[in-house]
Structure 1
C-alpha cells in the first residue's frame, strides 16, 4: 500500500505517546468548540478522543466507518476531526437538503492543503464559492464540457478503444485489466486536453505516467495539517511536503511546455484540428484572448493550468476505477455478463467494433454502469463542502464554516430505500425511465455518485461515453474469466477488497484471461 494513502494513520501511531503526555499534562482540558448548552440543537455526536476528536476512529476506509457510526447515531452526525467541526449526512433526505433545498448555504469548499499546492488554489473542483469559482465553472461547462465539445472528441475515444483491443491481443495469457484501463483513460483525456498528436500526456513515456500517478495519489491524501494545524510537522516528517513540492514543480514545468508549444503553433497560424476539434488547451487560450479583448475577467495561464489538472484528475482516476469495478462485478456475476454481452453483440451485429452510435441501444449496459456507481461509488464521500452561513439539516443546526461530508456510498446502500442493497443487481434500473440519465441526483437523492446542485460534477457528459464505450468494447471483443487459482482447475471468485485514495478502488490488481470473440465464431 502506498504510504501516501495511509500517512495520517501512521502519523497518529508515531505521535501517540506525545498525545498522551500532552493530554495528561493539561489535565484532560479540551479546547472549546461547538457548544450544546441552551443554544440551537446540534446533531448527535459520538464520543471522541482528546485533541484529535474522531479523526483516529475513521480507519483506512472512512466511508464504511462513518456508515457504521450513522447506524447508531443517525443520518446527521457532528464529528470533530481534529479542530475541524464536520457534519456527516448519510440519508437521501439529508443529502437533498444539502445539495438542493439549501444548496447555496452549503456551496463552498474547505481549504485543502494538497489541492492548494497541486492545483494552484485556482481550480474549479476545490475552489471556495466565489467569483473565481463561478468563472471557472462557466468556462468549463460552456467551452470544455458542452455536448458539442464532447462529440468533437468522439473519434479520439473510438481510436483509444481500438488501441485497447490491440493491447489485449498482445498481452499474452493473462491481461492486467487495471493497467489496461488506466492506459485507455489516460489516452482519452490526453487527446482531449493536449491534442491528438501524442506529444503530451502520460503516453509520452514512463516519467510522465509516474508524474500523473504521483499527482493523483497526492491529491487524494488527507494531511494532518488539514485537521490539526499544530501537527503539520508530521506531514513534513512523513515526506509528504517534499513529495508534493517535487510533483508540483514537475507538473508545472510540463504544463508550461504544453502551453508554450500551443502558443507557438498559434502564432504560426496553425490550430490543431479545426474549430470542432480543438483540444482543451486551445479552447482555454481562445477564452483567455476573447475575454481580454472584451475587458472581462482574464482567464490567465495559472487558471488554465488549474482547470487542465482538474480535468485530468477527474477524468482518469474515477473513470478507470469505475471500469475496473464494473469488470470485477461482472466476473463475479457471469449471468449478468452474458446478458450484457448478448445485448452488445446483437446491437453491433456483423460490425467489426463498437461505435458510439451503438451506445443508445445498450440499455442493460447502462443498468450495469449505474449499478456499479451505486454499489461501488468511486468518490464515496464526494468532495467536502463548507457552509457559508448558519443553516440546518433535518432540523439540526449547522454553524457557518462547518465542514460537511455527504456519504453517497452509505446513501446508495440504505436498506430502507434499496432492496438487496448489498448485492449487485443491475436489473433494479431496468424499468427506470431515466436509465439514460446518470444524474438522478437532480431528482432522486438515493443515487448521487456525481453529487448534485452547484457543486455537482459538470463532467458527466464527458465521462459517461468514455466509460460505456470502453466496457462495451471489452465485452464485445472478448470472453473474460479469472485465471485458475494455484493448484485448482476452476477459476476462483474475485476478491473485492477496497483501497482508499483519490477514489476508492479495487485493492487487488484485476488480472483476467481474455479469449477473442468475433461474429463469425
Structure 2
C-alpha cells in the first residue's frame, strides 16, 4: 500500500510544493500528460536493458505526492523493498536511487565521465551564475576553475599561509566564550556557524576589508548564506516540470535573483577595494597573509596565466567557498560535539589526547593537528553517521547507459544514498554505534580518508565531482573542534539529553539544536585573553 499523500510529518516546504502542484494540475495538465506519455514510451524502448524497479506513482505527478520530508530515511526504506537501485518518477523527471558501494563505484569511477553532469534546479542555476561555478558547472571552464581552486588556492602552501587568519578568528571565538558565555547555555550549531563563516570570510578577504565595512559585510553575508541554503533545499515544482519555470509559481527564482544581487554587490565592493589598494600601492595590515580574493586578482593581472578567470567566475568560485564551506563544516562540528557529549568516554579520550599533544598551558596550533589521531577518527565516525550531504548532489548522465544491469536514461537524476550505505550492517559492524576506533586502523591499505577511494565511505563524494574544498574542510573541522574541546569542558544543561534525530536538507541538520555549557579547561587563563 502506498503511504498517505502528503504525510503530516512533511515540512512547510513540501506544503508549498503541494500548492504549486495544484495550480499546475489545473493549468497545464493536458500538455504535461501528453509529454509524460511520450517520455514513458521512449524510456521503455525494448532495445534497452530494463529500467530499475520502483514504486508506482500517480498519473502526471509520479511519486511526488508521496515524498516525505526526510528523503534519506524514505529512500533507505524503499531500498529495503526494491533493492540497491530503483527508480522514482518525479513529475517529468526520472529519479534513480543507488544505495550500495559496488553500484556507487559504477557511477563515480567506472562511468564517471558520463555521470559528471548536473541537472540544475532553478535556484542552483541562478545562484551559480548559470552553472559557471565548480559545484554545478562542467566543461573546459569548469576544469580550469577547479584546477585553480584545488592546485593553487587550496594548496598546502596557500593554506599554511592563511593559518594566521584562521587562528585570529578562533582565538576571538574562544575569548568570546570565556568573557561572556562561561556557565551559560550555548547553541553549538549557531556558534559553530558564526565561527566558521568568520574564518572563511577572513580567508576570503585577507586584509581587503577593514573596520566597520568588514563587520557589515560579514553580517550581511551570514544572512545571505542561510537564505541560499534554504532556497537550494526547497522543493520547487519548476524543477520537476521545467515547462513551468517561466511562471515561478513558488517565487524561488525571484528570491534567488535577489540573493545573487546581494552577493554580487558584496564582491564588487571587495574587488573595488582590492584594486584601489593595489593601484595606490598601499601595504595592507595583513601583509604576507593574502586572502583568496587577492590571490585571484593578482593572477588575473596576467592574462596568459591558467589561473586567470573572469570577474563572474571569480564571484562564483568565492560563493562556492562560502556556501559550501560554512554550513557543512558548522553542522559537522555540531554533530561531533553531540556525539561526544552523548558518549563521555569518547569525550574523555579526545581531551586526554589534547592534553598529551597540546598541553594544558598552550593553545592549539596548526602543527598539533596531524597528531590528533583520535579526534580525527571521531570526526570521521561523525561523518559516517551524520554525513552533511546524505544523498550527495544528484548526478545527471550525459547519455543513456547501464548500471547494475538496469537501463539509466540520459537526463535522469541519480541520487547516491550515502546515509544508507554509511549505516548498512552488511558494510559496517554495529553500524549505529558511535565508535571512532573503527577509523584508527594503522594499516595504510585498509585506512579511510576523505578522498573517495573507499566506496563505503564517501562523505565528500568521489570522482570528478568530489568536493573540491576537502583540504580546507579538513583543516577547519579539526582545528575548530580541537580548540573548543581543549579550551573548555562541555556539559549538557541540567535535566537535558542529546537528541540525535535529524532532518533532511541541502545540509542534514539536527532536529533539536545542541545546547551545551562551557567552563574553562586550560591552566593558563591568560590564553583566553
Residues 271, 282 of structure 1: 8 Å contact kept: no
Partner residue of 2:340?
Answer: 330
Alpha-carbon spacing, 1:47–1:202, altered in 2? closer, same or farther (3 Å):
farther
Partner residue of 2:79?
Answer: 70
CA distance in 2, matches of 1:455, 1:10: 32
Shift of 1:230: 4.2
Could you report, residue by residue, the CA deviation over 1:424-448 in whole angstroms, capped at 9, with x for unpaired residues? 1111112254598632522x11000
Residues 357, 368 of structure 2: 8 Å contact kept: yes
Could you report, residue by residue, the CA deviation over 1:13-61 in whole angstroms, capped at 9, with x for unpaired residues? 3256567778998998852322164532221122122212122333111
The runs of 5 or more residues in structure 1 that have no matched partner are 486-491
Residues 296, 308 of structure 2: 8 Å contact kept: no
Q: Given the two structures, how large is their TM-score scaled by the length of structure 2?
A: 0.89
Could you report, residue by residue, the CA deviation over 1:369-402 in whole angstroms, capped at 9, with x for unpaired residues? 0001000000111111111122221222222222
CA distance in 2, matches of 1:514, 1:226: 44
Alpha-carbon spacing, 1:191–1:205, altered in 2? closer, same or farther (3 Å):
closer
Residues 384, 422 of structure 2: 8 Å contact kept: yes
Alpha-carbon spacing, 1:42–1:254, altered in 2? closer, same or farther (3 Å):
same
In the alignment, structure 1 residue 211 sits paired with structure 2 residue 224: yes
2:97 counterpart SS class: strand
CA distance in 1, matches of 2:45, 2:395: 23
Partner residue of 1:439?
Answer: 450
Residues 228, 259 of structure 2: 8 Å contact kept: yes
Between 417-426 and 23-32, the greater mean CA deviation after superposition: 23-32
CA distance in 1, matches of 2:20, 2:468: 40
Alpha-carbon spacing, 1:271–1:50, altered in 2? closer, same or farther (3 Å):
farther
Partner residue of 1:87?
Answer: 96
Between 413-422 and 194-203, the greater mean CA deviation after superposition: 194-203
Between 192-201 and 45-54, the greater mean CA deviation after superposition: 192-201
Between 126-135 and 418-427, the greater mean CA deviation after superposition: 126-135
Partner residue of 2:367?
Answer: 357
Alpha-carbon spacing, 1:62–1:272, altered in 2? closer, same or farther (3 Å):
farther
For residues 114-263 of structure 1, the aligned pairs below 5 Å read 114-169=123-178, 170-172=180-182, 173-196=184-207, 199=210, 204=217, 206-232=219-245, 235-236=248-249, 238-263=250-275
Q: Given the two structures, how large is their TM-score scaled by the length of structure 1?
A: 0.90
Between 198-207 and 470-479, the greater mean CA deviation after superposition: 198-207
Residues 198, 218 of structure 2: 8 Å contact kept: no
Residues 186, 316 of structure 1: 8 Å contact kept: yes
Residues 480, 515 of structure 1: 8 Å contact kept: yes
1:214 counterpart SS class: helix
Shift of 1:159: 1.8
For residues 243-392 of structure 1, the aligned pairs below 5 Å read 243-270=255-282, 272=284, 277-290=289-302, 292-293=303-304, 299-392=309-402
Residues 207, 286 of structure 2: 8 Å contact kept: no
Cα RMSD between the aligned structures?
2.8
In the alignment, structure 1 residue 61 sits paired with structure 2 residue 60: no
Residues 388, 400 of structure 1: 8 Å contact kept: yes
CA distance in 1, matches of 2:89, 2:134: 24
1:322 counterpart SS class: helix
Partner residue of 2:464?
Answer: 454
Residues 20, 237 of structure 2: 8 Å contact kept: no
CA distance in 2, matches of 1:114, 1:21: 24
2:407 counterpart SS class: strand
Residues 149, 276 of structure 1: 8 Å contact kept: no
Shift of 1:341: 0.9
2:181 counterpart SS class: coil
Partner residue of 2:512?
Answer: 508
Residues 97, 417 of structure 2: 8 Å contact kept: yes
Alpha-carbon spacing, 1:152–1:122, altered in 2? closer, same or farther (3 Å):
farther
CA distance in 1, matches of 2:25, 2:113: 41
The runs of 5 or more residues in structure 2 that have no matched partner are 1-9
Alpha-carbon spacing, 1:300–1:497, altered in 2? closer, same or farther (3 Å):
same
CA distance in 2, matches of 1:246, 1:26: 31
